[in-house]
Amino acid sequence: MKSNLISGLLVMNFDEALDFYTKKLGFVVVEDVSMGDDRWLTITLPGNHDSVIALHEARTEEDKALVGKQMGSYPFLGLDTDDCIGEYQRMKGLGVKFHGEPDVRSYGTGVMLEDLYGNRIFMNQEPGG
């Protein structure tokens, strides 16, 4: 049996979320299929198709209230990188909001950032990586 992980993320607008995740964070589109008045839109990091994020456009007031708050004060996503400082500088230059600068800890060099709605994402580079 093949196992893949698909996580969902509520967004206010498919196109603005797709633009942010692909052009600023470096994700790639896995699938983008029109489904009448809806859309099946999945993204992942380059070279990784075992874990994807399905973007879901918030339509109800209840869903809209959750956009940007889906994990509260915790990061909803962790990104592993080979160059935390380089990615931090690249993304900061593109206007990505960060909570401070990369910090070296026992588990690696990491920094918290936000997506365009305020969801927190932790980017980390393993020690020696």
113: its two tokens:
């950032």
Counting every residue written for the chain, the total comes to 129
pTM recorded for the entire structure: 0.91
Contacts of 10 (CB under 8 A, 6+ apart): 56, 57, 58, 63, 66, 67, 70
* Residue 2 confidence (pLDDT): 67
Cα–Cα distances in Å, from 61 out to 40, 66, 116, 119? 21, 9, 19, 18
According to DSSP, the β-strands at 98-105 and 77-80 are unpaired
Ordered per-residue pLDDT tens for the chain, 129 residues: 567 889 999 999 999 999 999 999 999 999 999 999 899 999 999 988 789 999 999 999 999 999 999 898 999 999 999 999 999 999 999 999 999 999 999 989 999 999 999 999 999 999 975
Q: Set out the domains of the chain in order of their start, with CATH numbers.
A: 1-67 (3.10.180.10), 70-129 (3.10.180.10)
* Residue 4 confidence (pLDDT): 83
The number of beta carbons lying within 10 Å of the beta carbon of residue 28 is: 14
* Residue 128 confidence (pLDDT): 76
